[in-house]
Structure formats: C-alpha cells, structure tokens
Structure 1
Amino acid sequence: MVRCRDVGGRQPDGLARPLEEGLLQWGLAVLLIQAATVTHAQPPLEFDLAFLELGGGHGGADLSVFATSNRLLPGRYVVDVFVNDVFVEKREMRFDATSDGERGSDALPCLTLPMLEEWGVHTLAFPALVLAGEPDACVNLPAAIAEARVAFDSYRHLLAVNVPQAAMKRRARGAVDPQYWERGINTARLGYQFSATRHGGSDFGQAQTRNTLYASLRGSASLGSWRLSHAASFLRGLNGRDRFQVIDAFAQRDIVPWKSRLLLGEGTTPSDIFDGFPFRGIQLGSDESMLPDSLRGYAPVIHGVAQTNAQITIRQNGFAIYNTFVPPGPFTLDDLYPTASSGDLEVTITEADGHETRFIQPYAAVPALLREGVWRYNVTLGQYRNGLSDPNPTFGMASVARGFPGELSLYGGTIAADTYQSARLGIGKNLGRLGGVAVDVSHSRSRTHLADDQIVSGRAVRVLYAKSLPDTGTDLRISGEHHFSRNYRSFDDAARVRQGAESLVLGAGRNRIEGTISQRLGEGSSLYATVGVQTHWTANVNRLYQIGYSSRVGTANVGLYGNYTPGGGVPSRWNVSLSISVPLEALWGGSSGSGRKAAPTNLTYFLSRDHENRLNQQMGVSGSAGSDGLLSYSMNATHANQGSASRSASLSYLASSGRFDASAATGPGYTQTTLAAAGGVLWSGDGLLLTQPMGETVAVATVPDAKGVHFERYPGVSTNRDGKAVIPHLNPYRINRIAIETGRLPRGVEIRNPVTEVVPTRGAVVRADFDAIVGVQAAFALIDAHGAPLPLGAMAENDEGQVLGVVGTGGLAFVGGLQKSPGSFLVRWGGADEQRCRVHYALLLSDPDDVYPYVEAVCR
C-alpha cells in the first residue's frame, strides 16, 4: 500500500509529529556521515546503538555503513588521481575486497607497478615493488614505502596517493606529464565580435548621420590532433569606406616528443630573436607553453584615456586585430588575442564626436633565458605578407637557442630571401638579483629599390633587459637598439620599402629605446610607466611617455594618469587626468547586510585636461545588478570648460550565450548609439552550443539532464536544458580546475563529483563530465512487509548503485533523484539478501516549489 501526500511549507497535521521526531535522527545520520574520514588507515568508528532506543526508538539499526569513511563495495570506478596533492590523471581503477573479509570494511584500490611508474614513483629503489610480480598484480604501497599513504574519497571519486619526496623521480615543478594531455574531441567553432555605431549631429556635416561597423569572425575546427583556424575582420570607418581582411588561416598540430608545434598556412614568426612578422607558408618550432615553469608569450597592456564613449581600434602590421568601446575616463586593455609578433601597435581612439587620437604602443618581446640543456628552435619557409600591399617576397628563416651551465644562453638565427639576407648572434645571462640581460649583434644586406639592384648593408646592436621581483611587485622591461648606419634594415622594413614605402621613414631608424615598469606600492597601490623613443637618420624623433598611479584610500579608489607625445613638426599631444571612485554605501555608512553580498554601486568623478586646453569634468554612477554582477551599467554627465555638456549611459550583460552591450551618448553637435555583441557557437556530436567568447582552448561540461547548473570562477556560464555548458579560456598543457557551485544547485539536482580537472592541449575542446543525480525529491515513511519501520542507517539506492538517501528513525527518509512517473528504488542495510528490499512508488506532484511529496510505502 502506498499513500501520497504533499509536504512542505504547509504540512498535513498527521505528518508534523513524525517529521519533528525524525529531524533529530536525520541530523544524527548526517553528522555520522560527516564525521567519517576519507583515509583507510583510521580505525573504524564504533557507535552505541543503545542511544537510539531512548525515547521509544526502534532497534535493528545497522550503522556499519558509517563506521568507515566510504563503505565502498568492490568493483571498478572512474577516479581522479592526486599524487602528493597534485592532479595527475582521471582513470578507471579496480577496487577489491579486503583479504581478511572484515565486516564493514571498504574495498581497497588496486595499485599496480605500471601505475606507480606513470605517477613518478621511483619503484626501482624499493625491493618490495621490484618483486611485485605480474604487471597487473596489486601492490601494498604503504608496506613497501615507509610513510606512504593511500586514501579514497568516494563522494568526490578522488584517490589521494602520498609518497615521500625522496621516493619520487625528479620532475620539474609545475610539470604535467604529456601522456595526460588531452587532445579533446572533434568539434567546429565560430567566435564572433560585432559592433555597430550610429553617429549623428552637426559635427558630421551635411550627412547628418554616419554609421560605423566592425565585425570579427574566427572559425576553427578540431580534428584529432589537428587544429584548423580562419580569422577575418570587416571595418567600415567614419569615411564610409569598407575594408575586409583575412587576418590568418592555418592548420596546426602538436609534435609532442619534440615539445613543438607544426603550422601550415598563415601565421606569425616568433619574436624572440628577430622581429616577428606575418607570413604564409610552413613553420615548425618549439612551443614554450609545453615546458614547465617556462615564460608565456608576452602581450602588451594598452593604457589610455577616453574623453567620451570612445571606440578603440588596434592595428598591427596593417591588420585591425582588436576593437572595443570604452566609457569616458582611463582605460586598460589587457585581453589582446595571443600573438607572437613584436610589431608595434597603432592605437586609435575615436571619440563620440568623431575626434580621433592616435599613438604607437611599442611592442618588443624580451627573449627568455633558457635552463641548462634546454633547446629552442624555429624553422619557417614561406611568403612575407602584410595588410598593406604587394609584392610579398619569399623567404626562409631559422633560429636556435640553447641554455648552458652558469645560467648562460646562446642564440642566433638567419633570414634569407632574394632581396634580403640577415644574421643575428646573441648571448643572454642571468644576473641574479640584478635581473636578466641579452645582447646581440646583427648584419643585413638588402636590395632597397624596385628600379635597380642596388645592395645596401648595415649592422645593428640590441640590448634587452628584464627584471621581475614578485616579492616587491616590481616588473621592468627595457630594450634598446642602435643602427650603425642608415642602411640597416629589418626584414619587415626591407619588404615594405620594396612595396614602395618611403625608406627614410621605415628603414632608416637610428636608435630605439623602449621601457615599461610596473611597481606595487604597498597594499592596494601601484605605479606604471612606459617610455618609447625612436630617432631616425633624418633627425626625426618619435616619442611616447605614459605614467599612471592608482591607490586605495579608505573605501575610495584614486587614480592619476598622464601621457605625452612630442609633435616632431606637429603640435605635441598630452593629457593629464584624475579619477576617484567611491562606493555609494560608504558615503552614508551603509552595508550590504547579510547573505550573498551584492555588487556595490560606485560614484565616480573624472577630471582631465589636454593639449587643446580642453578641461572636462565628469560625474557618474556605475555598478552591477544581481549577486553575480552579470548586468553592469554606467551613467555619466560631463561638463567642459567651453560650457558644453554631454551625457552617456551604457549597459552590458554577460549571459551563458554571449556578452551583449549597448551605449548611448549625446553632446553639443553629436549623438552616438552603439550596439555590440561577442560570443560563439560550438558544434560537437551532441549538437550546437551557444557560448561566451571562448578563447583558444575550452571544455564542454556535462551535468546529465541538469539545467541551470553554475560553475565557480566562470560568471554567467550555466548548463542548458541538456545539461551542457562551454567553459571558456582554459590554459593549455596545465591543470585546469572546473568546479560546480554546489550552493546554488537547481532543485532536484545532486552532484557526486562537484570538482574535476582537465589538461587540454592548445586549441583543444575537452570533456568535463560530472556525475549527477537528477529527479524529484520526496519524503518517505518506509515499513517492511511486517509493518515495522526500516532500520536507521539503511541506504536508498537506484539501480546504478547511486545513494539517493538515508533512512532515519521511524523509517523516515528524504530521497532524491526519483522519476516523476511511477518508479522504484532499492533499500539496503546489510549484505544479506534478507537485508534489502524494493520500494515501488507513484508520486502526486504539486505545483508549489516549496512543497515535497510525502509517501507512505511498504518495502518488499
């Protein structure tokens, strides 16, 4: 007999007393579960069952399931393996019953000699392991190695193996064995960025309105170990001209034994020895990101100041590689797409009234010192290309670097083409506390004119210095280059001269100095400065100076910024500004209260003055809505010393399917309205997924049949109705932790393994699977065929062996993961056949979300 009632905020009278009596016992059961440890070495806990007889409790309880940490039955399980607290792999392992057959003992993992070898254990140093016998024979690791421990957490499916460091093979810190790198699944992806702006007002002349458009598409596919990619951009400027460019198109794959990458198509040469430049051809070279603790590719941070809602466009080698909109005030762009090119970046700030400001951001990479015995190489064959014009010469380039004892590195390379030859040789040295320095010399020969075969040659010397002090927060980079004659050319300059560019401008640089420094100043304060100076044989000098300071004063954030670009024949440009941001609640001493803290609303003040004697003052309010801060907003009002006033507002929303932005601004003589979106689409064998901007390497998380599951550190990402979500911006060749926010799981969803780790290769789409129990939750009053309540501590399980709930006193159990239609589940309180039974149920579901079904059922 099965009787169903609803239980929740309004309980039936007959259920109130049983529930009140059962809460204490349910709480006891939960405490017993939490009290259990996850190590097999700890002796079993013992419980005095007489306490459960107090107050008329029922006997027959079997609490042996709580006596050990997991009560794991023999079988095969997929587990995450951690060795000395470092994730090494996910694998299926066999768990065997204990040899003594002790009642209530957990099954133990079967560790084999090949497993220990893979995990880096120095097995040859321990006779008990060498004599283990067959490769698939189980070994007793704690008995073979003193102080070694093995523990298993059945809730998280986590196997923890701890081995003394002396018993481990030497391995570079931070290394992940290549055998655990995941090449991922076959997929196709399309990433997009789109913005459309409508400009209006008298500032735009008779046209009254003008539209600007920017679109960037990057399509890619993963086929086994191969990665295919194609990127293009479209730009319509204020002049109404359209420009479509193919940025790159290539196929690439890892060559794991060589720690290298093979590229076919369009790419960029490395910038560690020669200046990087774009090419079309074939390239084989070292990929430093595969190495442990190696330096990652350096990308510059762009600083600037916008007077209005401004459009920022960044070009490199003639290609528009980045476009975004920023609100009035100082801005920092630190999310440029990874690139190896060291070509200077041309930054254009287009204000809402159409006024443009341009500056050149120097970009040169400092070659990293290599560890002793480490090689780095690159070979490139192809055709030079840029986004400007033809013809493009064919070339071959080779470079090599090696680390020697004494923290010394030697490097060199050569470039050869019909119209150009160059060679460079250099040495790098670690100076200890003084930083690292590299010095090299180069020689070039080039034909510089289209009309004749005149050959010119020149020499140059370059000094590169880098210093980083993590303890003090100091990061310094300086590069200097001197050309001994006006005839020295880089390959990029020589090619552009052959294309008809003015050689006095491009190829005749004399000296070049670039430097950046960032310094952390106490708690919450930092300073940065950038200097770039380039002189030419024509006596022209290009300079750029930037400085910025930010600090936290109480609850306020204060910033001072300045930049200066000398004119060199045209008026010099400069700008100084002050910004202050204060949380509104701090102005009247308010607080966010208890619970999840909402994102603060900030009151901002911005003051700037520039070379045209424009003095702007701006007041604004900005903040985020919701506890996750997915919807951000800002409203600003600006007043200039000419008496003009302007207003602007913007909204941005980060959804699981993309980022969407809108802004509007108006002022004397102009109006501006912008709509923008960025995101992507991913296709796999399971269908299409809409995503946020993905980056190069991603994971597809699967929580079967669970919609609305969120993930830590990935705001806005949640599973769709099929239980799938795309986790963006993973680090290749490194351990990436993906964790579910268990505190905000949808109703009816329980997660067995809320955390998993993946180690993807570059450009891969890997799987991150979670074990979920999804279904209806209900309260049961369970009795056996004789009318007696089921024993306290009995486990309710589904047919797959997943635990759905625990029986409390009086046979009361709260069970999850149930089917909406009639179904059944197993109840087990021991190993004998008479210690298990099956419950058949049919639930009466009610509409209110706070009401759970209540079922009285016989377990047969």
Structure 2
Amino acid sequence: MSMLPDSQQRYGPIIRGVAQTRAKLEIRQNGFPIYSTYVSAGPYEINDLTLASGSGELEIILTEANGQVRRFTQPYATLTHLLREGVWRYSASVGRYNAPFYATDDSMLWQGTLAMGTRWDSTVYGGLMGNDFYQATTVGLGKGLGVLGALSFDLTRSYAQTNPDNSQHNVQGMSYAVKYGKSFETRTNLRFAGYRYSTEGYRDFNEAVRERSADQRFRGSRRSMLEASVFQDIGLYSSLNLIFSQESYWQQDDAQRQFQFSFSSRFNTVNYSLYASQSLNDDEFNERQFGLNISVPLNFGRSTTATYDVRQNRGQLNHRASVSGRAKNSLLNYRASVTHNETGQQSAELSLGYQAPFASLGAGLTQGTDFNTLSLNASGALLLHADGLETGPYLGETSGLIHVPNIANVGQLNDSSARTNDRGYALIPYLRPFRINRVILDTAQLDPNVEIDNGVTQVVPRRGAVVKASFPARKVERILVSTRDHHGVALPFGAQISNADGLVLGIVGQAGQALLSTDEGQQIIYVRWGTTSAEQCQAQFDTHSMPLEQGYRVQDLVCR
C-alpha cells in the first residue's frame, strides 16, 4: 500500500492523555506491547503508532514515577473501508499464536483479507480467520455518499469451541457493524461514528481464547459497542475535540462508558487548553479528570516554555509548574517541574535527554514526599555493511547510509544529530519507501580543506531497504595567493591558472589575488591571459612552507 499516493495510505489512531509525573507509557494490542516510551508530566500525544489492523482496541498503561498505574482502553477504526476504483488491498498470514500468560492454547492461526475498490464509489471487502478451535468470516460493503459522507456495513459470523475438554461445547453467532464518517463545511469533522451489535453466541478471537482458558478477567462476550469522535475548528487558533464510547456485555447488565473532551486555543503567544475525561458504568463513576493547561514561551534559550497546569483527579486538585526547552541545536532537551496537591504531598522532577551521534540518552529524577525515582534510558542502532559497523541513535524501517570517503564530521540536513565518522559514514535514520528522498549534506560548516562536488543526491528505496548515498569528496589545500610579475605589477584580472596537468585551478581576481584548490606539497602553476609567450608565466611554491590563516594557506607569488 505504501506504493500508492499518500492520500491512500492507511489510518492510525492518536493516543492522548495526561501524566501526573514523568511516567512510562505502554500501549498494548490484544495483550501484547506494541509501543513503549517515557512521557513528561502534563498532556501527551502519541501520533506515530503503526498497527497491524484497521480497527480494534488499544490498552494504554501509564505507570507514574510514584508507582501508581492507570489503565484505559481506546477503540479505534478507520473512517471507512473505501478504496479508489481499481485498487486492491490484500493480506495473508499464518503462524503460531503467541498466547498471553492466561491462555492455554498456542495453536496455529491463519488469516486473510481482501478489499477491492469498485465503481460507484464503492468498496467490497472480506476476510477469513481460523485455527483448530475458532473460525470467522467477514463480508462488507463501503459506499461513498457524496455530500452525505461515507457509510460502510459488514457482518461477521464466528464459530468457536470454548471448552477444550468438551468438543461438543460450541458456540456460534453473528456480529453486525455500521460505520459513518463525514467532514462538514462548518469545519466539523465527524472522524468516526460506528455501532456494532453481536448475538450472544458471537465471539471474537480474543474472547474465545479468554473463555477457553477460563480467564478470570473474561467479562463475557460483547453485546454492543458504540463509538464516536468529533473534531471542530473554532476561529483561527481554537479547536474542540469530543470522543465517546460505550460497551455492553451479554453476561452483565451494566455498560461501560468513556468520554474525553478537550478545547485548545491561543491568545497572542500564550497557548491554553481545557480537558476532561470520565470513565463510568451504570453503577458508579470509576475515574474523572478535569484540567487546565497554560504555556508561555520565554525569551531565553531555544524553544524554552513555562507551563502551569491544574488538574482535578477524583475530587483532588493538583498543581504543577514546569520549564522545558532545547539546547545545542535541539540535540539536548530538558524539563524541570514541581507539583503540589491538596493533601500536602509535593514532588519535583528533572529530566534530560541528549541525542548523541551514536545513541539517544536520557535520565529522569523524581523526588516526592514519600518516594523517589531515578530512570535512565539509552537506545541506539547498529548497521553492519561491507565496509564495517556503523552506530547511530536510531533507525526506522527504511533507512540509509551516507558515505563521504574519509571525510569526518560532515553533517546532514535530514538529521541534525548525524555526522560522519572518521571513515566518512553516517546513518540516515528515516527514509520514505517508494518516494523520492533528497539527501542533503550540511556543507555550510565544512572545513575549508574539504571539497565536495555535489552535496545533494536523491534515493528511492523500497520498503525495509537500507540504501547507500555516496558523495565524491577529497581533501585539498586552499591557497590564497597574491600574484605579481617580475616588475611587481599585479597579474591581469581574469587570467587562468592551471597545474602541470593542464587542470584549471582558478582565475585571477582583483589586485592579482586568486583562491586555489590543489594538492599539498611542492607545486608549479601556469598563468595565462593571452596566446603569446609574453602573456603567460609560471610560479613555484610549497604548501608546507606557507603560513596557515583561518584554514587557508596564504602567500605572495612572483610569476616569471
């Protein structure tokens, strides 16, 4: 699919929330971790998830510095299943199910999906999935409705053997889903609205595994699920976001509901946002949060920002003030904050991160009233190739290798932290597959004695490839000479200077001065400004005997 234009690429959900301290964030899909990072105190946003499927549920686990663990789920799905006419999307896989700790089965599992864009703005799609105790079949149709938006409908039939000791204990059922999406002229984006109803005998694969394994956390099969997400732009700088979801189960009377509300805006250079979230069921409120966040840019450092936020969590107010910013060309980032709540508990946090040429390094220290936490993290990449082993802070799925032969400390504009090593190699962490990627060297900071013919090239990698971008380069002596004839008169403007091999080295400028690039050692140069013998001369010099001023060799030459 990545061979198609960007507009046809698949959708990925955005995870938003609020951390009370420097916390570890882990995102799981079907019980398995797919993303892990540290987030600073305050609102966070994860927008770079890569998921294997187009819909499902994500479990977000936030572990605070004081050991408090908060969990919540976020359903996600594409707006529609629509593909352009003539586009096919298909997948097939087979393997052994890597069962979670509660599962008793690790049998083989196979699945396949197929979607085809047809005429009349429609897409037909379907899929098969199964193993020795579970089979499911899905068929569906998506339709673009023009000004009314887009709508899709699908039905899934499942068959599951839920008791491993009784082959006669089987359940089967149907699940029906309708999804709708539309952007309105009022700049309102109904990102996703969907409803799914399942009969009592229907099981998805995860439910079948949990029931078959007698998992104590198995709540029963899902009866219905409602999801909606609305985004609204207000004016030039404001936006409003609402997310709501509700789930009910056949074996339980109560329903689980979650909603999130956020409003962000800007006044001059001050950014502020309001947010609220609540998860509840029919019996009681599980968790409720309200908050206000204000950020003010400061006039010192690089991208330095002061932030104050106040948050109410389970009826308790928490206050936080922090300062964050970047330094050393954004390679170093820092954050310091203090917090206080109504119970008198206080804490302070300091975190640093540095992106070195060989690794990404980080450290965080949190000191609270009754706890303290120290966290250290380091990550990097190793690339083995024909000429050796290279190191870097990170590598994406598709990446590159720069080679500027034997020229060290050459930077690249694609990644400010990457610089060539002593052998002239540097990693390009991220490249876009099946796209033209311009690789640009930072030639503005080259040593005067380095000469690169062309500091820009283009590569078009396949997905998962590591491509090499070579830049012919050499070390030369930069010589600034003031040329005179034997009478002491400056040589004519525009005279051509060449070496013994006839290679043009430079042109005489004003006052007889010329800037030459040549090899080190003893040299003979030839100067010509006409065709007669009186309009040419030669001079000799040795670069080793020339004084060095600001990276250039400087000397007065008499041309005879």
Q: Same fold (TM over 0.5)?
A: yes
> d(CA) in 2 for partners of 1:552 and 1:801?
65
1:304 and 2:6 aligned = no
Residue 670 of structure 1: how far off its partner (Å): 0.5
Comparing 720-729 with 737-746, greater Cα deviation is found at: 737-746
> d(CA) in 1 for partners of 2:500 and 2:69?
68
Instruction: Give the conservation status (yes or no) of the 8 Å contact 2:484–2:559.
Output: yes
Instruction: Give the conservation status (yes or no) of the 8 Å contact 1:448–1:497.
Output: yes
> d(CA) in 1 for partners of 2:470 and 2:532?
34
Give the helix-richer structure, 1 or 2: 1
Q: 1:532 to 1:320 in 2, by over 3 A?
A: same
- What amino acid is aligned across from residue 310 of structure 2 in structure 1? L
> d(CA) in 2 for partners of 1:671 and 1:799?
72
- What amino acid is aligned across from residue 501 of structure 1 in structure 2? D
Instruction: Tell me which residue corresponds to 1:125.
Output: none
1:529 and 2:242 aligned = yes
> d(CA) in 1 for partners of 2:42 and 2:84?
43
Q: 1:732 to 1:481 in 2, by over 3 A?
A: same
* RMSD (CA atoms): 3.3
> d(CA) in 1 for partners of 2:449 and 2:407?
9
Deviations 1:136-179 (A, max 9, x none): xxxxxxxxxxxxxxxxxxxxxxxxxxxxxxxxxxxxxxxxxxxx
Deviations 1:450-505 (A, max 9, x none): 1212222111111223345799484612332111x211112333234333336962
Instruction: Give the conservation status (yes or no) of the 8 Å contact 2:279–2:285.
Output: no
- Give SS of 1:493's match: helix
Q: How does 1:288-367 map to 2 (within 5 A)?
A: 288-337=1-50, 339-340=52-53, 342-367=55-80
Instruction: Tell me which residue corresponds to 1:481.
Output: 196
Instruction: Give the conservation status (yes or no) of the 8 Å contact 1:401–1:412.
Output: yes
1:374 and 2:87 aligned = yes
Q: 1:400 to 1:727 in 2, by over 3 A?
A: same
Deviations 1:510-532 (A, max 9, x none): 11122334444343433333222
Instruction: Tell me which residue corresponds to 1:419.
Output: 133
Instruction: Tell me which residue corresponds to 1:615.
Output: 317
Structure 1 residue runs without a partner (length 5+): 1-287, 586-591, 593-597
Instruction: Give the conservation status (yes or no) of the 8 Å contact 1:513–1:534.
Output: yes
1:781 and 2:482 aligned = yes
Which one of the candidate residues 585, 588, 601 is aligned to 2:304? 601
> d(CA) in 2 for partners of 1:548 and 1:444?
38
> d(CA) in 2 for partners of 1:416 and 1:824?
80
Q: How does 1:182-221 map to 2 (within 5 A)?
A: none
Q: How does 1:81-92 map to 2 (within 5 A)?
A: none
Residue 369 of structure 1: how far off its partner (Å): 1.6
Residue 337 of structure 1: how far off its partner (Å): 4.6
> d(CA) in 2 for partners of 1:746 and 1:434?
61
Structure 2 residue runs without a partner (length 5+): none
Instruction: Tell me which residue corresponds to 1:755.
Output: 456
Residue 758 of structure 1: how far off its partner (Å): 1.3
Instruction: Give the conservation status (yes or no) of the 8 Å contact 2:264–2:272.
Output: yes
Q: How does 1:466-477 map to 2 (within 5 A)?
A: 466-467=181-182, 472=187, 474=189, 476-477=191-192
Q: 1:662 to 1:791 in 2, by over 3 A?
A: same
> d(CA) in 1 for partners of 2:41 and 2:60?
16
Residue 300 of structure 1: how far off its partner (Å): 1.9
Instruction: Give the conservation status (yes or no) of the 8 Å contact 1:438–1:463.
Output: yes
- What amino acid is aligned across from residue 309 of structure 2 in structure 1? F
> d(CA) in 2 for partners of 1:401 and 1:610?
44
Residue 404 of structure 1: how far off its partner (Å): 1.6
- What amino acid is aligned across from residue 91 of structure 2 in structure 1? N
Residue 788 of structure 1: how far off its partner (Å): 7.6
> d(CA) in 1 for partners of 2:530 and 2:114?
67
1:650 and 2:351 aligned = yes
> d(CA) in 2 for partners of 1:491 and 1:472?
38
Deviations 1:704-752 (A, max 9, x none): 3332222225232222222221111211111112223343334433443
Q: 1:625 to 1:449 in 2, by over 3 A?
A: same
> d(CA) in 2 for partners of 1:692 and 1:841?
43
1:458 and 2:173 aligned = yes
Instruction: Tell me which residue corresponds to 2:219.
Output: 505
- What amino acid is aligned across from residue 321 of structure 1 in structure 2? I
Instruction: Tell me which residue corresponds to 1:555.
Output: 269
Comparing 451-460 with 521-530, greater Cα deviation is found at: 521-530
Deviations 1:402-422 (A, max 9, x none): 222211111122234332222
Residue 801 of structure 1: how far off its partner (Å): 9.9
1:702 and 2:403 aligned = yes
Instruction: Tell me which residue corresponds to 1:624.
Output: 326
Instruction: Tell me which residue corresponds to 1:386.
Output: 99
Comparing 440-449 with 429-438, greater Cα deviation is found at: 429-438
Q: How does 1:142-181 map to 2 (within 5 A)?
A: none
- Give SS of 1:387's match: coil
Instruction: Give the conservation status (yes or no) of the 8 Å contact 1:377–1:400.
Output: yes
Give the strand-richer structure, 1 or 2: 2
Residue 766 of structure 1: how far off its partner (Å): 0.7
> d(CA) in 1 for partners of 2:472 and 2:537?
25
- What amino acid is aligned across from residue 272 of structure 2 in structure 1? V
> d(CA) in 2 for partners of 1:684 and 1:471?
54
Comparing 334-343 with 750-759, greater Cα deviation is found at: 334-343
> d(CA) in 1 for partners of 2:519 and 2:448?
14
> d(CA) in 1 for partners of 2:37 and 2:86?
44
- What amino acid is aligned across from residue 451 of structure 1 in structure 2? D
- Give SS of 1:843's match: helix
> d(CA) in 2 for partners of 1:632 and 1:724?
26
> d(CA) in 2 for partners of 1:800 and 1:468?
69
Q: How does 1:736-755 map to 2 (within 5 A)?
A: 736-755=437-456
> d(CA) in 1 for partners of 2:237 and 2:398?
32
Percent of residue pairs bearing the same amino acid type: 36
> d(CA) in 1 for partners of 2:558 and 2:209?
86
1:853 and 2:556 aligned = no
Instruction: Give the conservation status (yes or no) of the 8 Å contact 2:410–2:419.
Output: yes
Q: 1:770 to 1:526 in 2, by over 3 A?
A: farther
Instruction: Tell me which residue corresponds to 1:543.
Output: 257
> d(CA) in 2 for partners of 1:804 and 1:381?
64
Instruction: Tell me which residue corresponds to 1:764.
Output: 465
- What amino acid is aligned across from residue 312 of structure 1 in structure 2? L
Instruction: Give the conservation status (yes or no) of the 8 Å contact 1:295–1:368.
Output: no
> d(CA) in 2 for partners of 1:471 and 1:802?
67
Residue 698 of structure 1: how far off its partner (Å): 0.8
Instruction: Tell me which residue corresponds to 1:397.
Output: 111
Instruction: Give the conservation status (yes or no) of the 8 Å contact 1:830–1:836.
Output: no
> d(CA) in 1 for partners of 2:463 and 2:433?
5
Instruction: Give the conservation status (yes or no) of the 8 Å contact 2:546–2:554.
Output: no
Instruction: Give the conservation status (yes or no) of the 8 Å contact 1:392–1:495.
Output: no
- Give SS of 1:433's match: helix
Which one of the candidate residues 426, 429, 433 is aligned to 1:725? 426
Residue 334 of structure 1: how far off its partner (Å): 2.0
Q: 1:764 to 1:517 in 2, by over 3 A?
A: farther
- What amino acid is aligned across from residue 351 of structure 1 in structure 2? E
Instruction: Tell me which residue corresponds to 1:70.
Output: none
Instruction: Give the conservation status (yes or no) of the 8 Å contact 2:269–2:296.
Output: yes
Q: 1:604 to 1:858 in 2, by over 3 A?
A: same
Deviations 1:524-563 (A, max 9, x none): 4333332222111122422221122222211111121221
Q: 1:515 to 1:808 in 2, by over 3 A?
A: same
> d(CA) in 1 for partners of 2:41 and 2:508?
61
Instruction: Tell me which residue corresponds to 2:204.
Output: 490
- What amino acid is aligned across from residue 391 of structure 2 in structure 1? L
Q: What TM-score results when the alignment is normalised by the length of structure 2? A: 0.89
1:665 and 2:380 aligned = no
